[in-house]
Structure 1
Amino acid sequence: MQSPLDEVIRRQKAGRPQGITSVCSAHPLVIEAAVLQARETGGHVLVEATSNQVDQYGGYTGMRPADFRDLVRGIAADCGLTLDRVILGGDHLGPNRWRALAPDEAMERACALVAAYAAAGFTKIHLDCSFPCAGESAPLTDDVVAERAARLIRAAEDTVGPEGAERIRYVIGTEVPTPGGAHETLGALVPTTARAAHATLEQHRKALALHGIDGVWPRVMALVVQPAVEFDHLRVVDYRRELTEELRGVLDDEPTMVFEAHSTDYQTAEALTALVEDHWAVLKVGPGLTFALREALFALAAIEEELVPTADRSRLPEVVDRRMLAEPAMWEYYYPGGVAEQRLARRYSYSDRLRYYWPDPEVAKAQARLLDNLAALDIPLPLLSAHLPIQYARVRRGELSARPRDLVVDHVRDVLRDYDHACNPNHKEYV
């Protein structure tokens, strides 16, 4: 059974630069931006839930896989995008959430996690078994990682049966960048070696055979390797294609497989284009989108301060910071330094730990109040120019309404436009 992802791979293997953006976010406005971008360009939208956002217990968003599926499909329907153009993916599925447990117990929960995603209709599954569990030393060897990945694939296949399994495409890899960006200050990054990538492929092929599911191999669509692309709180390491020349040839003999690039957030448009040209056909982005979301919402909050009486303001930035200070578990480990340094990091860090707080009821209420306050007003164009100049220009040209929700979504789409340009260089909009 064909998948829309197969066409991306076919074109890559035919020597035509082609890619797809993987939107790794659970925020409804980010998903709306991705859906509208796909509707405009005529392509597919690929939205992935990460294992910490969405799991069989609810994750930090409170959503199980079926809930996330319904959220994405509901937004697509509301925006006029047909469901055949929606691809759902699971990101970093494995024992990561349960690393404090013994390996057998952690893997039992990971298998249930993958089964829940498969049962909910997710058709792109990234298997991440690279993290050690209780009592294990890091890094895990390729054979251990591959054996665990094969167990997870078996769980997915058994859950949906042969017909359902034909729709699923898998992503493997042992050199997996840290979900959501590096925790530490980055030094020099070194790409995965060709030798290590070949070893990963071989061990996974063996593990599938040992589990009696070697027929799955043609549906293993991508390999995650490190192309030396990453970001931390203050710095972005940009792609340098001269460092990956040998690595790029690893998949030449794999007719159904491309590379998947993680942590591509904040890469330049030129770097994204080079990644797609060099066979990283899946470009994952998450924090970079919620970073843009925060930029737009805080810009609107600054406009609100100019237009709305003090007692009626949302005070969104203040509410977010108050909730982050009250519940610091999602950021304090990641943001060292003094009080002033941490305050800046909470609001402006590239790693955007703020994104974990959007589902907080107080934050969600303040966001809604902000949008409602400004929706009841006509935002003066000079004020819009001062805070969202690119959106201001589109409003002036009649391309965009000045409604606050539309302004936010369009600002997020500016990030996605760079990705679309890289993934679809021959699209009429970009030539």
Structure 2
Amino acid sequence: MTTNILTDISKWRLRSGPSGIPSVCSAHPNVLAAAMRATAPTTLPLLIEATCNQVNQDGGYTGMTPTDFRTFVCQIAEEVGFDTGRIILGGDHLGPNPWKNLPVEEALNKAEVMIAAFAQAGFTKLHLDCSMGCAGEPVALSDMETAARAARLAKVAEANRPGGDIPAPVYVIGTEVPIPGGAMEEIKELELTDPQAALTTRKVHEAAFGKLGLVDAFSRVIGLVVQPGVEFGNHNVVEYTSRKAQNLSAALSQMPNLVFEAHSTDYQTRASLAALVGDGFSILKVGPGLTFRWREALYGLDAIAEEMFPNAREETLRSVMERVMLAAPENWDRYYDGSEQERAMMRHFSYSDRIRYYWPAAAAQDAEKTLFSLLDGVDLPETLIGQYLGAQYAAVRAGRLAPRADALAHAAVEDLLYDYIYACKD
């Protein structure tokens, strides 16, 4: 059996090569293709993660099981020409969250089926998240109960390892994570994880794993999820401040085989991402920020198409997306407050990027194909690129980027990934 490349991530900073790794949390095919193209020239592996709500034995909101997701990713890699041997698949927030409205044993039984499916499909980075209460329980559970349930799921994962050339999985513990997809309100200040709380989390998980005879599995716990002081809401981003995180970062000296995993690093600057890695937050999760960039690019191309080919389409891409979101409000309605005008703006431009749930819709796919078909083979004027896709203007002027619709859209996502690759010092 091969060794999991993430097993010694805590030692990466002590040798040449990468000192951290981006975690691409997306099921958008163009985002994944861009991640592969950006990663290809580097020495980094490509870590792609799916959440428990996104992918599970019932299909999640993508309609994919873990095996389906693996096939999906490998098909994109084949199209891009990316070596699948460099891909690490991860499962995020694996626990009872999709079924927390059920009684606890029923929810945990479903979580066991889910993590078995992830393990059998060859996902080799598993984040165990059992912090949430189920029906009749408190919203948040104690450290000891959370750890006991996490160990229970780890035992199932260990029993369902596929063997062969698939390495043994590594685990990430800890549940002090921001709201998935970002907070709903404007955020002024965040409370960082208390260093002692981080040490306690590790200690109680070690005891819970040991109680179930999972000493070897616990030796493969590589990361602890903490709040380092980064987050985004609908309207604003809380930037990482290294000075405030020094006490938390110092706690890693008492956990020599662990790194910290930082969620919601979307929209952090390149400098802040590099500081996070330097301070031991070696796994940088990014998701909505990537699809936000894709939406920005498509809306820019949408506006250019209207300038160049007015009335050539029955409906603009943006108007289609508005129609699609209004027809199925369950993925945005309760997350966006304010006046109707404010909610309309957030549907398209919120940092939480809940529009990402609607790109797979048939009408959205048709509108996207129509847009790219209209612009296919067309050299877009530099002046319109400057007006509507300003971030790519300099590269087009310098001849580094073709003034074509597909190149411009993919470059928008790749540019963000380059910030993460730089931060990981590859």
TM-score relative to the length of structure 2: 0.95
Residue 182 of structure 1 is matched in structure 2 by 183
For the structure 1 residues 395 and 311, does the alpha-carbon distance in structure 2 shift closer, same or farther, using more than 3 Å as the test? closer
2:197 is matched with which residue? 196
Which residue is equivalent to 2:293?
292
Q: Which residue in 2 is equivalent to 1:411?
A: 412
1:133 and 2:151 equivalent?
no
Q: Give yes or no for contact 2:259–2:282 (8 Å, CA) kept in 1.
A: yes
CA contact under 8 A between 1:313 and 1:373: conserved in structure 2? no
Q: Deviations over 1:329-382 (max 9, x none)?
A: 111111011110000111111111111111111111111111111114332222
1:394 matched to which residue of 2? Answer: 395
| Aligned-residue offset at 1:55 | 1.2
1:71 to partner: Cα distance: 1.5
Unpaired runs of 5+ residues, structure 1, are none
With over 3 angstroms needed to count, the CA separation of the structure-2 counterparts of 1:214 and 1:164, relative to structure 1, is farther
How do residues 9-408 of structure 1 correspond to structure 2 at under 5 angstroms? 9-12=10-13, 18-160=19-161, 166-312=167-313, 315-408=316-409
Maintained 8 Å contact 1:296/1:411: yes
> Shift of the alpha carbon at 1:390?
3.2
Q: Give CA-to-partner distance per residue, 1:180-235, whole Å, 9 cap, x none.
A: 11133324211111111111011100110111112111211100011111110011
- Cα pair 2:7 2:170 within 8 Å, conserved: no
* Residue identity matched to 1:218: S
CA distance in 2, matches of 1:292, 1:313: 25
Runs of 4+ in 1 over 4 A off after TM superposition: 13-17, 161-166
Deviations 1:130-178 (A, max 9, x none): 2111111132100111011111111111112666784311110031222
Amino acid at match of 1:224: V
Residue 322 of structure 1 and its aligned partner are, at CA, apart by 0.8
Q: SS where residue 160 of structure 2 aligns?
A: helix
Higher deviation after alignment, 356-365 or 382-391: 382-391
Shift of 1:17: 7.4
Aligned length: 425
| 3-state SS of paired residue (2:219) | helix
Contact 2:116 2:157 in 1 (8 A): yes
Which ranges of structure 2 fall in alignment gaps of 5 or more residues?
none
User: What CA distance in whole angstroms lies between the structure 2 residues aligned with 1:92 and 1:394?
Assistant: 38
Q: Quick check: 1:39–1:80 contact (8 Å CA) kept in 2?
A: no
Question: Which residue number corresponds to residue 3 of structure 1?
Answer: 4
Tell me, yes or no, if the aligned pair for 1:142 and 1:174 is still in contact at 8 Å: no
Report the Cα distance in structure 1 between the residues aligned to 2:215 and 2:16, rounded to whole angstroms: 27
Structure 1 residues 314 and 61, CA gap change in structure 2 (3 angstroms): farther
Change (3 A) 1:151 1:28: same
Give the superposition deviation at 1:260: 0.4
Secondary structure in 1 matching 2:275: helix
Q: Which AA in structure 1 matches 2:151? A: A
Return closer, same or farther for 1:313/1:392 CA change in 2, 3 Å cut-off. Answer: farther
Single out whichever of 78-87 and 249-258 deviates more from structure 2.
249-258
Contact 2:17 2:43 in 1 (8 A): no
1:316 Cα deviation from its structure 2 partner: 0.9
Q: Secondary structure at the match of 1:87?
A: strand
- Is the Cα contact below 8 Å between 1:313 and 1:370 reproduced in 2? no
TM-score normalised by length of structure 1: 0.94
Give the conservation status (yes or no) of the 8 Å contact 2:396–2:402: yes
2: CA distance between counterparts of 1:108 and 1:333? 29
1:56 to partner: Cα distance: 1.0
Determine what percentage of the aligned residue pairs are the same residue.
Answer: 47
Q: Residues 228, 106 of structure 1: CA spacing in aligned structure 2 closer, same or farther, 3 A cutoff? A: same
Query: Which one-letter code corresponds to 1:177 in the other structure?
Result: P
Gap change, CA 1:16 and 1:199, over 3 Å in 2: farther
Q: 1:12, 1:281 within 8 Å by CA — same for their partners in 2?
A: no
